[in-house]
Structure 1
Amino acid sequence: MIQVDFSKLSPQVVWRHFETLCTIPRPSKHEQRLRQHLKDWAEQRNLETYVDNIGNLIIRKVATTGKEQAAGVILQGHLDMVTQANRGTQHDFFKDPIQPVLKDGWLIAENTTLGADNGIGVALAMAVLESNDIAHGPIEVLLTIDEEAGMSGARLLESGVLTGQWLFNIDTEEWGELYLGCAGSIDLEVGQTLEYETAPSDLIFVDLLVSALKGGHSGVDIHLGRGNANVILAHFLNDYLAPSNGRLVEFFGGSARNAIPREAVATIAIKAEQLPALENAVAVAQTEWQQKLQNIDDQLQISLQQNANPINEVITLQQQQAWLQALASCPYGTAQWSSALADVVETSNNIGVVKLTKDEAKTLVMVRSMVNQEAVAFAQKIQQHFASFEIQSELTPLVSGWTPNPESAALKCLQQAYQSAFDIEPNLKVIHAGLECGIIAEHYPDLQMVSFGPDIQGAHAPGERVKVDTVDKCWKLLVTALESVK
């Protein structure tokens, strides 16, 4: 691997913007620094800017001579990124720049997320604004906030502000494909106040760690059957603690509802003489899970070490049993495959975050479905599941899916651009993930929308990477399409 020299990557006009994005922290709900930078940049070039009430940035560029009557095109992406780092990696996503490297034609962040999702889309849109050699109609760039943590930017987007007829969403992750539909989603926020009691004096404290899983995107990767650290740890604790009279002190796992958790750790209390049996149980569980995840996620590790910190309280037995049983028996992963769309997951869920501590007890579950009603029904089923253990939860508002329109002029334009620029016919797909198109359509129902992007692997997980040459191809596709719009 080598440190990347962005000036040597093509197209330079795109990579220069992505390099800037790597230097400006942009966690979800904290996009203000990047938004202000892009706003200032645009105004220095006499481009019109507008920030709506929720914080979305809109930048407008007038049509080039002779293209004034062409359909207006909205280039859309999101400002925020998922912030995940490997255990032991010192990285402050509110201060530190992303440090990518090049390897075998891929730009990679080795121990953190890269932010290619959706930094590449933002960089492509900014490159269009900067370029003076592209013939195009009226351009609007819409850069939303909070896409990765609730889609509040899209949900609260102002109506009547955008004037374009077509929208190109540059936020999917497989070159050679055009997306024209996506899943809807609901978040389930489970929580209650935990009660603690004095720990028996004859117990020792041990940390159990599930680690070395691949993780990944909770939508596009959910069908791969990768291990979920929260699920694996909950299963082990539920099976082990009750018969051994062990006690739970706390449980941490995952950091984002839309990322498959790679690590989870729990502190438990047992009698000293039970330590050898625990070590054996951990070894057996690790082997069993590695076999279950063979050729999928078989680098899984389950390890333990004694905890020397002063601890004098444990979660009450009733709440310990309720939470562990609820987590261990909760539906997880692919719930149903689509009968209408080949090889597409219809409904799924991800147990993304578990936090059981004195300060807070919560679980974040994300439900996705290609059918809005199914998302609601499955989320309600999971809510009832936790309620059966007397654990309360709340459902967030439904984030609407995007209904395909295979006859749209915007789609035909991009299909023709593929043929013209590359002499290939792109695959038409829907994605089991949340794009903002469905929500934007609620505000602008007449918009014709298509989504595309470069090859990105491992979005939402450390080691995220983007294939450099496909960024160049996306640029050529975008330029070709814009020049052909009538």
Structure 2
Amino acid sequence: MNAVDFSQLSPQNVWQHFATLCRIPRQSKQEQQLRQYLKDWAEQKGLETYVDVVGNLIIRKPATSGMQHKMGVILQGHLDMVTQANRGTLHDFSRDPIQPILDNDWLITPNTTLGADNGIGVALALAVLDADDIVHGPIEVLLTVDEEAGMSGARFLEENVLQGKWLFNIDTEEWGQLYLGCAGSQDIEVEQALTYVHTDTELVAVEVQVSGLKGGHSGVDIHLGRGNANVILAQFLQQHLPELHAHLIEFSGGTARNALPREATAKIALPQAAFAQLDALLAQTQLNLRVQLQGVDDALELHAQPLQEAVTEVIALEQQQAWLAALSSCPYGVAHMSQALPDVVETSNNIGVVRLNHEQANVLIMVRSMVNDELESHAHRIQQHFEYYGLHSSLAPFVSGWTPNPESAALKCLQRAYQDTFQIEPELKVIHAGLECGIIAEHYPDLQMVSFGPDIQGAHAPGERVKVDTVEKCWQLLITALANVD
């Protein structure tokens, strides 16, 4: 593995823009610095820019000579990225640059997310704006905010601003495929204030940790059966705290509702004499789970570490039992496979974030489905599950799915570009993940939309990687399609 020299990667115009995105922080809801940089850059090139009420950036480039009559095309991606780092990795996503390395044919960040989702899509769109040697009709680049943390950029996109009739969303992660539909989603937040009670018993504080899981994207990777650190830890505690005469003090797991949780930690209080038994139980549980997850999550670890702090209070027993029982038995992962679309997940959910402490007691769950009615039903089933344990929840606004249109002219244009450039017929797919296309369609119902992208693995988790040669293929596909727009 070697530190990447972006100047040695092809196509240069795309990778230099991605290098810029690696330098400028772009957490969800903190895209202002990057947006201003790109706005200034575009205006210096004489391009028209507009920032809408929610913070989305629109940049327009006129058609090249002789192409003024062609259909206007919108190139769309999102400015923000998922920010995750492995435990023990010192990286401040609000200021530290992303530092990729080159591993054979892959660009990768071993201990943080890379931001190829959706930095590569943004870089491809910027390269089109930058290029003076390609042919195209009128171009608009729409760069949305907050895609990873709520899709508010797409949800509050201004109407009657976009002029193009076709939209190429450059935000999928498998080269050789064109996407024409995606799942809708809805977030559930379970909240209830905790009561702490004083304890006079001599107890010691211990940290119990689940780590080593692969994590990943809560939609794209949900069918792989990877471990969920929140569920694993809740099940262990719910089963074994009583026999250890132990009590829960805090629980913290996961970092994002749309990322499979890789790590979870609990602070518990137990008699000093029970520590050896705790160690033995963790070792046996680790052994059992590694058998269950063999070939899927082989590096799972469960371990405990004594803490040098006094125990004065613990979560009230009734609340401890309610939260752990609810978490350990809540549905998670794949709920249904599609009957209409072979090998496609229809409905799923991810128990993404758990925080139980003095300041907050909440759980963030993301539900996805290709069928709106089933999405609503599954979300309500999960709400009822927590309600059974006396834990109340609320639903975030519904995020629309994207209904496929296999007859669209935009799709046929990209299919021809695949055939002309690579002599292959791309697969047509729908994705069990949230793309902004469905939401944008609510504001612009006549848009014809298609999504594509390079090979990206491990999005939303440390170790995220993008295959370098597929970025060049995406560039060739894009410029071929733009030159042949009807």
- If the TM-score is normalised by the length of the shorter chain, which range does it land in? over 0.9
AA aligned opposite 2:287: T
Aligned to 1:294, what secondary structure does the other structure show? coil
- Give how far 1:57 is off: 0.3
- C-alpha separation in 1, matches of 2:309 and 2:49: 53
AA aligned opposite 1:99: Q
- Counting only pairs closer than 5 Å after superposition, residues 339-418 of structure 1 correspond to structure 2 as 339-418=339-418
- C-alpha separation in 1, matches of 2:439 and 2:53: 17
AA aligned opposite 1:301: E
Q: Deviations over 1:369-404 (max 9, x none)?
A: 001111111011101111111111100011000000
Q: Deviations over 1:213-254 (max 9, x none)?
A: 000000000000000100100000000112333100000000
Matching residue of 1:97:
97
- C-alpha separation in 1, matches of 2:435 and 2:311: 45
Matching residue of 1:288:
288
AA aligned opposite 1:11: P
- C-alpha separation in 2, matches of 1:199 and 1:31: 46
Aligned to 2:335, what secondary structure does the other structure show? strand
Matching residue of 1:135:
135
Q: Deviations over 1:114-148 (max 9, x none)?
A: 00000000000000000011111110000000000
- C-alpha separation in 1, matches of 2:422 and 2:406: 21
AA aligned opposite 2:249: V
Matching residue of 1:245:
245
AA aligned opposite 1:312: T
Residue 313 (1) aligns with residue 337 (2)? no
Of 150-159 and 305-314, more deviation after overlay is shown by: 305-314
Please say if residues 183 and 368 of structure 2, whose CA atoms lie closer than 8 Å, have aligned partners that are also in contact. Answer: yes
- C-alpha separation in 2, matches of 1:57 and 1:417: 28
Identity %: 68
Matching residue of 1:2:
2
- C-alpha separation in 1, matches of 2:307 and 2:144: 44
- Counting only pairs closer than 5 Å after superposition, residues 45-444 of structure 1 correspond to structure 2 as 45-444=45-444
- C-alpha separation in 2, matches of 1:339 and 1:217: 23
- C-alpha separation in 2, matches of 1:191 and 1:180: 36
- C-alpha separation in 1, matches of 2:433 and 2:318: 37
Please say if residues 79 and 122 of structure 2, whose CA atoms lie closer than 8 Å, have aligned partners that are also in contact. Answer: yes
TM-score by structure 2 length? 0.99
AA aligned opposite 1:235: Q
Between Structure 1 and Structure 2, how many residues are aligned? 486
Q: Deviations over 1:139-195 (max 9, x none)?
A: 000000000000000000011100101000000000000000000000001111101
RMSD after superposition: 0.7
Aligned to 2:425, what secondary structure does the other structure show? coil
AA aligned opposite 1:386: F
- C-alpha separation in 2, matches of 1:43 and 1:380: 48
AA aligned opposite 2:423: D
- C-alpha separation in 2, matches of 1:273 and 1:40: 64
- Give how far 1:271 is off: 1.1
Q: Which runs of 5+ in 2 are unaligned?
A: none
AA aligned opposite 1:456: I
- C-alpha separation in 2, matches of 1:74 and 1:377: 35
- C-alpha separation in 1, matches of 2:170 and 2:336: 28
Aligned to 1:282, what secondary structure does the other structure show? helix
Matching residue of 2:21:
21
AA aligned opposite 2:116: A
- Give how far 1:110 is off: 1.2
Q: Deviations over 1:310-347 (max 9, x none)?
A: 33110000100000000001001000000000000000
AA aligned opposite 1:479: I
- C-alpha separation in 1, matches of 2:306 and 2:100: 36
- C-alpha separation in 1, matches of 2:284 and 2:110: 31
AA aligned opposite 1:322: A
Aligned to 2:310, what secondary structure does the other structure show? coil
- Give how far 1:17 is off: 0.2
- C-alpha separation in 2, matches of 1:322 and 1:419: 57
Matching residue of 2:448:
448
- C-alpha separation in 1, matches of 2:483 and 2:242: 67
AA aligned opposite 1:200: D
TM-score by structure 1 length? 0.99
Aligned to 1:309, what secondary structure does the other structure show? strand
Matching residue of 2:467:
467
- C-alpha separation in 1, matches of 2:285 and 2:312: 28
AA aligned opposite 2:13: V
AA aligned opposite 2:372: N
- Give how far 1:305 is off: 0.8
AA aligned opposite 1:330: C
Aligned to 2:308, what secondary structure does the other structure show? coil
- C-alpha separation in 2, matches of 1:122 and 1:156: 20
Of 412-421 and 301-310, more deviation after overlay is shown by: 301-310
Aligned to 2:478, what secondary structure does the other structure show? helix
Aligned to 2:92, what secondary structure does the other structure show? coil
Q: Which runs of 5+ in 1 are unaligned?
A: none
Q: Deviations over 1:345-370 (max 9, x none)?
A: 00000000000000110100000000
- C-alpha separation in 2, matches of 1:41 and 1:374: 45
